[in-house]
Every structure is written in C-alpha cells, then in structure tokens.
Structure 1
Amino acid sequence: MGEWFPRLYDTVMKPLERRKFKQIRTKLVEQATGRVLEIGSGTGANFPHYSNAVSVEAIEPNPVMRERSYKNRLESAAPIQVWSAHAEELPFQDNTFDSIVATLVFCTIPDPLQALEEIRRVAKPGAAILLFEHVRVNQAVMEKAQDILTPVWKHLCDGCHLNRDTLATVKQAGIRISSVESFYKGVFITVIGNTGTRRQAPCPDSR
C-alpha cells in the first residue's frame, strides 16, 4: 500500500467529518464503557470521544496512520494503547473487552467474518458492539454503481469495498443487533448490538 492514502485521509474526510461524521462518532463512541477494543483506529478520529471508557486498546496495521493518531490520543479522556495488528488475528486473550468499536473499517478488512469471530472471542459475553460503516445500498441503481466502481475504488483507497453488505456479515457472525440507523440514504449506517451469551459445552454425564 502506498503512503498517499493514509497521509491524505484526514484532509479528504474533513468535509464529511465536519458536516455529520463527528456527530455520529460522538454519539456512538460515548456508549463504549469499561475496557474497550477499537478495530482499525486509523488516524484516531474516535479517540477524543471516549468519554466513558476506562481504557482503550486500538489496533491499526498501517504505521503512517498509527503515527498520525498520536495527537488525537492526547485528546482522549481514557488511556489509549495502539497496537500493530490485524482484525483477523487479535493479540488479546479471550473474554477481555467490555465494548468493541469499529468505524469505517469493515469495508477494508480482507476477511470480515473472521474478524467478527475474533471480536467475539476477545469480547466478554454480552459486550457492546458499536459500528459505523458504509455499506451496500438496497437500491438497484446504487447497487449496480457500487459494483462497477468497487474494483477501481479498492485500488485507489487501500482495499475499500463500496459494495460490502456488512450488516449481513454482522448478523451471520451471531452478533445480536438492537438498533440500526442509516445516513445519507443508506450509504452509511450505525449498528448497536452485543455479543450475546456464548453457548456452553454440555457437561459430561455424571451418572
């Protein structure tokens, strides 16, 4: 991956952040409590909004983005540690986190279902799942446009898929969804849910 995308990311996103995204992030991220895991923290746009977290462990595989997130780390009310790691192989023990946050990242994760399975592994039973993503739009013309544009968009924007049906993948992973809110005619959504309670292995027959 070239360095131009992470270096220009904040500049390109600034109009959307000012217009709406900052408000969406604030409302979503302030719901993260306890020990928090953030997936794909990028340049740290969420960091200033962790008003109710005890601590935050964030993963970000791109070194340029990690470096550029330092300023936002200083603005956080919670201590934040950023790790170089991929979502499909998280460097944390089972049942560690109370809340999971991911914003505008599942479009780029190579194996989003595996990432969600890893998230469920490291999350405590019933942990909050807080997502903000752009997704495949349920409208024929838009779906076709997203499919046509995705190959070029992936090349230009660090593997970003315009046509990912992330909500369906979240459901497939067994996340319990309590609310979904859409923005910009369904191009962007927030998802609030939890990991539920894991099925326990049956006890051996003691008879």
Structure 2
Amino acid sequence: MGKLFAKIYDIMMQPLEQKGLTELRKNLIRNARGKVLEIGSGTGLNFPFYERADKVIAIEPQPLMMNRSLIRANDALVPIDVVLADAEEIPFQDNTFDTVVGTLVLCTIPNPLKTLEEIRRVCKPHGTILFLEHVRLDRPILGRIQDWLTPIWKHVCDGCHLNRKTVELINKVGFKLVRKKQYCKNLLLEIELLNSK
C-alpha cells in the first residue's frame, strides 16, 4: 500500500487543502523558528510555509514520500534537508532543535508515545513543539464510529488511526500546553507546547 499511497497522497489531500487545511498549515508553521525538526514530512506540503526558521531538517520514514518532497524542499524559502528516518528513533543528539513540527503524523506512527518522548529529548529546554492533528472525538456515537472504521482506514490510508487520543498521549510525556485550538467540531487540533524539561 505504501507505494500507491505515496503516489496518490497529494491528490487525495487536495480537497482538504482547498477547504482550509492549507491555511491551518500556514498558521502553524509561521510559529516555527530557529533550527526546526519536522517529523513525518511526507511529500513536503509544509515546506513552502517556513519563513522564520533558520534551517529545517525534515525526517520521513518512507523513501517514496521523501523523494516526492525534494522538489518542495529545493523551492522553499529556507534551507530544508530531508532525511530518511523514523520518528520513533530520531537520529539527532539531545537538545538539538528550537522547534519541532508535526502535521497529521501522530495518527500514523505505530508508537506515538515513543515518538513524543524522542521529540522531548531532541527539543531544547523551553523549545516549542507544534502539532496539527486529527483526533478521536469525545462523543459516544461518533467516537465509536471512529473506533469501528479505524481497522479499515488503517489499511487504506497507510496506517492512519482515526481514533488516536493524541492529547492524552501528549499529557503523559509532560509537555506544557501553551495553546490549543479546535477545528471541525474538535476533530482537528492545533497544539502548541513548551518543552518544560
């Protein structure tokens, strides 16, 4: 499924991007400053929006997605290096990054808690973590529908979980919540965290 998903990802996302997702990406990314790590950068849809970063290192575990992102990396306003790597084992030293960014990625990573711990490790003390994530709805019927659809959805969408309780996972790691905005009736969250280690 990975090869096909990489080929159709941009086409599949286009209607959502046009309905407002691109604007949400822009609003999130404009807060990324200094040396930035982007996890699960996919085809590089965030790359055009980095303006205030000094440098971005983007990690992506799937070679085809990474290769598709290289054109956007070359056209970006700031230097972007794309590295084939897994967010569950980030290949950088402790306290390396001023900002860490993830958009629509924690839903797909097999062990999101391990990834959050790795983010905490590589982000500098008092550094910023920025997420844009879809989450499980806290409503009995809709949440159950997400639970029911997730096994099928994971197969079709390359491992994406519709029902991740992302905020609960974030709270376990110990980040300090700076800001949380909800969109699409709480299905989509924009989260800014402080690495208060």
Amino acid in structure 1 at the alignment position of 2:18: R
Whole-Å separation in 2 of the counterparts to 1:11 and 1:83: 23
1:202 corresponds to which residue? none
Whole-Å separation in 1 of the counterparts to 2:195 and 2:84: 24
Larger % of helix: which? 2
Three-state SS of the structure 2 residue aligned to 1:3 is helix
Whole-Å separation in 1 of the counterparts to 2:105 and 2:90: 15
1:163 corresponds to which residue? 163
Whole-Å separation in 2 of the counterparts to 1:132 and 1:117: 18
| Residues 138-186 of structure 1: CA deviation (Å, up to 9, x unaligned) | 1111101000000010111111000000111111111111111111111
Three-state SS of the structure 1 residue aligned to 2:94 is coil
2:121 corresponds to which residue? 121
Three-state SS of the structure 2 residue aligned to 1:178 is strand
Shift of residue 189 of structure 1? 0.7
1:204 corresponds to which residue? none
1:143 aligns with 2:147: no
Whole-Å separation in 1 of the counterparts to 2:79 and 2:128: 19
Amino acid in structure 1 at the alignment position of 2:148: I
Three-state SS of the structure 1 residue aligned to 2:32 is coil
Q: TM-score, normalised by structure 2?
A: 0.98
Amino acid in structure 1 at the alignment position of 2:40: G
Whole-Å separation in 2 of the counterparts to 1:6 and 1:182: 28
Q: TM-score, normalised by structure 1?
A: 0.93
Whole-Å separation in 2 of the counterparts to 1:10 and 1:50: 19
**RMSD value, Cα:** 0.8
Whole-Å separation in 2 of the counterparts to 1:2 and 1:81: 22
Shift of residue 2 of structure 1? 3.2
Whole-Å separation in 1 of the counterparts to 2:81 and 2:162: 30
Identity %: 48
1:37 corresponds to which residue? 37
1:180 corresponds to which residue? 180
Number of residue-to-residue matches in the alignment: 197
Whole-Å separation in 2 of the counterparts to 1:2 and 1:76: 26
Q: Tell me, which stretches of 5 or more residues in structure 1 are unaligned?
A: 199-207
Amino acid in structure 2 at the alignment position of 1:81: D
Whole-Å separation in 2 of the counterparts to 1:149 and 1:180: 26
Amino acid in structure 2 at the alignment position of 1:66: M
Q: Tell me, which stretches of 5 or more residues in structure 2 are unaligned?
A: none
Amino acid in structure 2 at the alignment position of 1:29: I
1:100 aligns with 2:100: yes
Shift of residue 57 of structure 1? 0.6
Whole-Å separation in 1 of the counterparts to 2:62 and 2:73: 16
Whole-Å separation in 2 of the counterparts to 1:145 and 1:135: 13
| Residues 53-73 of structure 1: CA deviation (Å, up to 9, x unaligned) | 000011001111111112211
Whole-Å separation in 2 of the counterparts to 1:165 and 1:117: 16
Whole-Å separation in 2 of the counterparts to 1:113 and 1:31: 24
Shift of residue 51 of structure 1? 0.4
